[in-house]
Amino acid sequence: MNLKGARVLVTGAGGFIGSHLVEGLLKEECSVRAFLRYTSNGRAGWIDSFAHSQKSAIDFFWGDIRDYSRVKAAAKGMDIIFHLAALIGIPYSYFAPESYLETNIWGTYNVLEAARELRTRKVIVTSTSEVYGTAQYVPINELHPRQAQSPYSASKIAADALAESYARSFKLPVVIARPFNTYGPRQSSRAVIPTLITQALGKASRIRIGSLHPRRDFVFVKDTVGAFCAIAESDLPAGLAVNIATGSEISVGELAKHILRETGSHATINGDNERKRPQASEVERLLGDSSRLRNLSGWKPRCSLDQGLARTIAWFALPENRARCRADRYCI
């Protein structure tokens, strides 16, 4: 499907990845409707930071992903739905699992059911590498067993299963996009890379972080957006899951040292028990195989970790951006 001129709905449009995706779709000359969680102050998340020319090109739609009537109204007339709305913080899922079930499972059901009723041409449901749990083999391909090691990952496994069932039961043209650890400008300081960067830029003498040994495959956000666009443009089989990964990994400890070097910080790195997951819940290793997506769409990552970190550090170094973060406390 050619994206130029396509009518697209992005749920979770005001979030980290969602806002970057909206920018990418505008560049592709799509007609973009942004589904945003209603608040009385009318804020649109990161889209509020867009230039006026960008905001004027967006059709803003406020609602709640858990409300079927609003989801269906938003999806009406759309060619493609990019479903990104979700609760994503793993630590908070230990405290409020019901919220994750309602948002991530019920919200995904609402999108799928609306698309089925409205005969939407394509739906892209956003998954996560967390559905795999600790790697049983590497690199992890889409056939790897799914292991729920947190309430968050359990909710995403269930959402993926719903998408698969709608493809098989109703022939819904849905594809499951499974990004590994996306990072970049605008990411919440809850995530590991912004946490490290903001503490280092804040001249902290000690960098507090959770477990140092887990290994991750980090994908720069612009590459993740490129993958979403490639998925939308490609004729992928209904119900297929595709990894978005670089095929490279780094431990959290090595990552921390790299960021300290790049920011000129001489801080010490300290493991913080408060930030560690329960032992059996920690995902020790995620290293992705994205050959399925590459073979079917031609997508491949373009930004190296060094390049992506440099761009991310430069963004957080701006005072107005760093002021949005809380480097002085742990955000779950």
DSSP H or E stretch at residue 80: strand 80-83
Q: Give the pLDDT score at 272.
A: 82
Q: Give the pLDDT score at 26.
A: 98
Report CA-CA distances (Å) from 105 to 152, 155, 156: 10, 6, 7
Sorted by where each starts, the structural domains of the chain and their CATH numbers stand as 7-182+220-244 (3.40.50.720)
Let me know if 152 is a catalytic residue: yes
State which amino acid sits at residue 248.
S
Q: Give the pLDDT score at 141.
A: 98
Task: Provide the residue-wise pLDDT of the chain in tens; the chain has 332 residues.
Answer: 899 999 999 999 999 999 999 999 999 999 999 999 999 998 999 999 999 999 999 999 999 999 999 999 999 999 999 999 999 999 999 999 999 999 999 999 999 999 999 999 999 999 999 999 999 999 999 999 999 999 999 999 999 999 999 999 999 999 999 999 999 999 998 899 999 999 999 888 899 999 999 999 999 999 999 999 999 999 999 999 999 999 999 999 999 999 999 999 999 998 888 888 898 999 999 999 999 999 999 999 999 999 999 999 999 999 999 877 776 677 77
DSSP 238: T
Exactly one of 68, 109, 132, 152 is catalytic; name it: 152
Give the angle subtended at the CA of 330 by the CAs of 325 and 332, to the nearest 5°: 95
Helices 252-263 and 192-201: crossing angle in degrees, nearest 10, is: 30
- Between strands 250-251 and 215-216, the pairing is antiparallel
